[in-house]
């Protein structure tokens, strides 16, 4: 009896479609391991698997395709090796790579019959969503959070996409609470991860949107203090890579800055004042405990369960900052073309986690806050809810059952399914919802353009492609993740795509702001996928045929007060940083706020903190 016998009996006519299907699976983590097992055992003929991660010890309690012998090896390659033993007849192709790499083009996406998304971070899920919409390939997205999970089918033009209804982000913290008056362990962890680590090893705060502060009367003195701290920390960075660096950073953030905070007398009238730390005395305590012995330091770092003492946090802080400094110096010594390498926080990177854990605990000690173990800080720093293997298995099974319907073109029976923790109903489902016409991602027209990014300028793109070939007027805006051009901002016209940071796989959005005299509406946004190609002669691009760009639906009658009396100032030329993009893809000028700060988002692969 062959391995496919029971699958053929169970699936009937569907089996032939399943067996001939070419599937792309993105992600080989908790859901991915269960999903790959299901795919090979139900007889899918060809499965391509993409995952950038390597296997960590903490994965083994739920990602059953991996064992202790696989730690630090590629998830994708090991998953292929293990799953192929379940059914050797399946053609498995594994890529230890980032799905956003240039090798994974739209043409490559189009070669698949269906894409199954099993990713654990928002950015990559958004990217795969856009690529599937561009390639017009059905996608099934899935995710879990503890005992809760969900999966949905995404079909271009027929259903909601992943971004039609953005996921509501978690709770928020005021900036000055994080930087001046912390009262909870999470405040100190966010400070260590998103401020101190970024300042020392990543991008300067001035260049980061994560901790952009809006000043008002209530926080004016505090923010002046914070700016002074930033300038002093930049001076400390001049000693980067030297033996004195750890000492200088410690004294700066745990002594000098704290002494300055104590001068804000009003801040400590009704709360415990912070107590600065003294480098020399704590070092003497650590030396007396025998931590000059590197073997003892290694033993301390090997166990993430205990809550470290003051001098143990000191040891981990100085040791990790030296490790990170050496790493970054080595990276920057290999930099080419004027680029400058940086380090980013990763909860599975021991060097970065050690630094954040020790820095957060030292700050907690200063403010009289409970300290946490390295294990607890790993959970909190990634905003992680522990994964449940059973939830992953349920969701993976649901994905495969919906894949049968998609491959059979039976969309009337395809569902969105949610898994919930008792006492709620464990499984609930609903019909697929139609696409959101106001979605900035799927409510757009799409096209691709082959470009020699070293030759084509933004001005040529606007004149030759948008105006001449596509009949746009001057009333347009051109954007990537930032504004490149509109009628009041034309600073970039002479810059090439390469100079503007546009690369292979980048998306360019064209927004039509013209109001035709015939009373019709403007055209929907047009999103170009850029494909790089060298051209020996002009023009330095090839545009795919575009059949037509539909117009926006006419808005319903507004219920709000009329704005006929609104005073619109005379047009003035704006800078790119004076314009922000709203959630629906529209633009608006930045405005000052009073009384409260604007919301700032700290978003990484493992979750989101809001700071407002």
Yes or no: say if 110 and 132 are a contact pair by the CB < 8 Å rule.
no
In this structure, what is the dihedral angle of CA atoms 246, 248, 250, 254, given to the nearest 10 degrees?
Answer: -170
Distance, in Å, from the CA atom of 357 to the CA atom of 374, rounded to the nearest integer, reads: 6
Cα 158 to its chain centre, rounded Å, is 26
Q: Is the dihedral of CA 73, 75, 81, 82 positive or negative?
A: positive
- Helix, coil or strand: residue 330: helix
Burial profile 362-374: b = 16 or more Cβ within 10 angstroms, e = fewer:
bbbbbbebebbbb
**Catalytic hit among 33, 176, 188, 442:** 176
Distance, in Å, from the CA atom of 310 to the CA atom of 247, rounded to the nearest integer, reads: 16
In this structure, what is the dihedral angle of CA atoms 369, 370, 371, 372, given to the nearest 10 degrees?
Answer: -130
In this structure, what is the dihedral angle of CA atoms 167, 172, 175, 180, given to the nearest 10 degrees?
Answer: -150
Distance, in Å, from the CA atom of 442 to the CA atom of 436, rounded to the nearest integer, reads: 8
Q: Is residue 176 annotated as a catalytic residue, yes or no?
A: yes
* Sheet bearing 607-611, strands edge to edge: 172-173, 607-611, 600-604
Of 273, 355, 358, 354, the closest CA to residue 311 belongs to 358
Of 354, 359, 286, the closest CA to residue 323 belongs to 354
Report which DSSP code applies to 382.
Answer: T
β-bridge pairing 427-431 and 476-479: unpaired
What residues contact 72, with CB distance under 8 A and at least 6 apart? Answer: 54, 55, 56
Identify the residue whose tokens are 């800080």. 377
- 3-state per-residue secondary structure call for 434-491: CCCCCCCCCCCEEEEEEECCCCCEHHHHHHHHHHHHCCCCCCEEEECCCEEEECCECC
Cα 142 to its chain centre, rounded Å, is 16
> Within 10 A of 410 (CB to CB), how many other CB atoms are there?
12
Q: How many residues does the chain have?
A: 612
Tokens at 525, concatenated? 């946004």
Of 459, 411, 347, the closest CA to residue 121 belongs to 347
Alpha-helical (H) ranges within 334-460 are 350-366, 374-381, 389-407, 458-460
* Residue 97 CA neighbour count, 13 Å, CB half: 13
Tokens at 336, concatenated? 């080419």
In this structure, what is the dihedral angle of CA atoms 593, 597, 603, 609, given to the nearest 10 degrees?
Answer: -150
Of 72, 35, 68, 67, the closest CA to residue 50 belongs to 35
Yes or no: say if 31 and 396 are a contact pair by the CB < 8 Å rule.
yes
**What are the catalytic residues?**
176
């Amino acid at each position: 009896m062959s391995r496919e016998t029971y699958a053929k009996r169970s699936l009937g006519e569907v089996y032939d479609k399943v067996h001939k299907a070419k599937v792309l699976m993105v992600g080989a983590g908790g859901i991915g391991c269960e999903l790959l097992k299901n795919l090979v055992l139900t007889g899918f003929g060809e499965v391509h698997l993409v995952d950038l991660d390597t296997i960590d010890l903490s994965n083994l309690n739920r990602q059953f395709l991996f064992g202790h012998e696989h730690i630090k090896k590629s998830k994708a390659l090991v998953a292929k090796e293990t799953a192929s033993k379940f059914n050797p007849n399946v053609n498995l192709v594994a890529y230890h790579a980032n799905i956003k790499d240039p090798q994974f083009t739209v043409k490559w996406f189009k070669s698949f019959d269906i894409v199954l998304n099993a990713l654990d971070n928002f950015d990559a899920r958004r990217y795969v969503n856009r690529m599937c919409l561009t390639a017009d390939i059905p996608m099934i997205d899935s995710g879990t959070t503890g005992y809760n999970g969900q999966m949905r089918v995404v079909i271009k033009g027929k259903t909601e996409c992943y971004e039609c209804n953005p996921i509501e982000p978690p709770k928020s913290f005021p900036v000055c609470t994080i930087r001046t008056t912390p009262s909870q362990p999470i405040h100190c962890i966010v400070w260590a991860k998103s401020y101190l680590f970024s300042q020392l090893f990543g991008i300067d705060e001035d260049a980061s949107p994560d901790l952009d502060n809006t000043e008002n009367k209530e926080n004016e003195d505090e923010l002046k203090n914070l700016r002074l701290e930033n300038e002093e920390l930049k001076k400390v960075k001049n000693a980067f890579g030297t033996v004195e660096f750890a000492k200088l950073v410690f004294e700066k953030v745990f002594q000098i800055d704290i002494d300055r905070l104590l001068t804000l007398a009003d801040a400590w009238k009704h709360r415990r004042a912070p107590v600065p730390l003294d480098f020399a005395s704590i070092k003497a305590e650590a030396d007396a405990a025998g931590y000059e012995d590197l073997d003892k330091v290694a033993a301390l770092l090997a166990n993430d369960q205990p809550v470290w003492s003051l001098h143990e946090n000191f040891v981990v802080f100085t040791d990790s900052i030296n490790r990170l400094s050496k790493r970054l110096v080595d990276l920057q010594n290999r930099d080419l073309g004027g680029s400058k390498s940086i380090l980013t926080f990763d909860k599975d990177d021991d060097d970065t986690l050690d630094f954040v854990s020790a820095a957060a605990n030292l700050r907690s000690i200063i403010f009289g806050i409970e300290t946490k173990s390295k294990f607890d800080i790993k959970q909190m720093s990634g905003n992680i809810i522990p994964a449940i293997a059973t939830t992953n298995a349920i969701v993976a099974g649901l994905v495969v059952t919906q894949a049968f319907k998609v491959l059979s073109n039976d969309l009337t029976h395809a569902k969105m399914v949610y898994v919930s923790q008792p006492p709620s109903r464990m499984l609930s489902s609903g019909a697929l919802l139609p696409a959101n016409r106001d979605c900035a991602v799927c409510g757009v027209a799409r096209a691709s353009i082959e470009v020699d990014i070293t030759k084509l300028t933004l001005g040529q793109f606007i004149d030759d492609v948008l105006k001449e070939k596509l009949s746009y007027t001057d009333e347009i805006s051109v954007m990537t993740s930032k504004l490149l051009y509109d009628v009041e901002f034309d600073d970039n016209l002479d810059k090439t795509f390469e100079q503007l940071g546009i690369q292979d796989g980048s998306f360019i959005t064209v927004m039509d702001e013209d109001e035709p005299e015939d009373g019709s509406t403007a055209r929907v946004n047009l999103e170009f996928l850029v494909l790089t190609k060298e051209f020996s002669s002009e023009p330095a691009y090839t545009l795919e045929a575009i059949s037509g760009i539909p117009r926006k639906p006419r808005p319903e009658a507004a219920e709000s007060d009329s704005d006929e009396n609104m005073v619109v100032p005379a047009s003035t030329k704006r800078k790119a940083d004076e314009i922000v993009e709203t959630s629906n893809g529209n633009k608006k000028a930045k405005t000052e706020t009073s009384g409260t700060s604007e919301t700032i988002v700290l978003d990484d692969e493992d979750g989101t903190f809001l700071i407002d």
